[in-house]
Amino acid sequence: MPDGTPHEPTVFLQAVIDHPNIEVGPYAYYSPLAPVTDAAAELAPYLYPGCPERLVIGAFAQIAHGVRFITASANHPIGGLTTYPFRIFDMETAGKYLEENAAIGDTVVGPDVWLGFNAMVMPGVTIGAGSIVAAGAVVATDVPPFAIVAGNPGRVVRRRFPPEVIEALLALAWWDWPIEAIRAALPALEAGMWRRSQRPSLDARACSAPAMR
């Protein structure tokens, strides 16, 4: 289990991000190719304190090198005759601009999501729990839980499990368990991948007993 031992340059984001607009769940990590001094600025370069939107990263998210979150405040106005962002240079008059960004909403990465090398997540997107975003994908629309997304624009290639298994895994929500329970369930968690010939060995009935929590 992750115990905080350094694994350069991988960092657990809760330990290195202190940003009023970023919320990070436990054990979510970023794995760049070289150490970074400001993970928040590298991952979300346009998200500044005072912006109306947030970036929410769920527990056990796995973020590869080069991933970028293009949050709402990166947008330029497109309703006028110019896209030049005059208002951001005079924040006292930026009310409408900020309101438009707030309407786009937060960017949310669910628990146990794997974001591959150089993936890009566009403003206001929600990526469901257990999803995989392939290397280089550009995610511009919401992603359902346990989906695999690839391409530009990103599209759902397939779901990782059939609907009834996804429902069971979401009910299981192992990422919310105490770490001791997760540690005890590791053999089942790691071997529970569904195959056509069988249902997963890990399911809500087997692993949600009070003794596990």
User: Could you tell me how many residues make up the chain?
Assistant: 213
Cis bond before residue 20 (omega within 30° of 0): no
Strands 29-31 and 11-12: antiparallel
Question: C-alpha distances in angstroms, 130 versus 14, 54, 56, 95?
Answer: 20, 21, 15, 37
Both tokens assigned to 92: 């006292």
Nearest CA among 134, 104, 129 for reference residue 118: 134
Q: Which of 7, 19, 65, 76 is catalytic?
A: 76
Q: Is 128 helix (H, G, I), strand (E, B) or coil?
A: coil
Helix or strand holding residue 148 (H, E): strand 147-150
Looking up tokens 């779901």 gives: 159
Verify whether residue 76 is a known catalytic residue: yes
Name the helix (H) or strand (E) containing 102.
helix 95-104
Q: What letter does residue 174 receive in the DSSP assignment?
A: G
Catalytic residues: 76
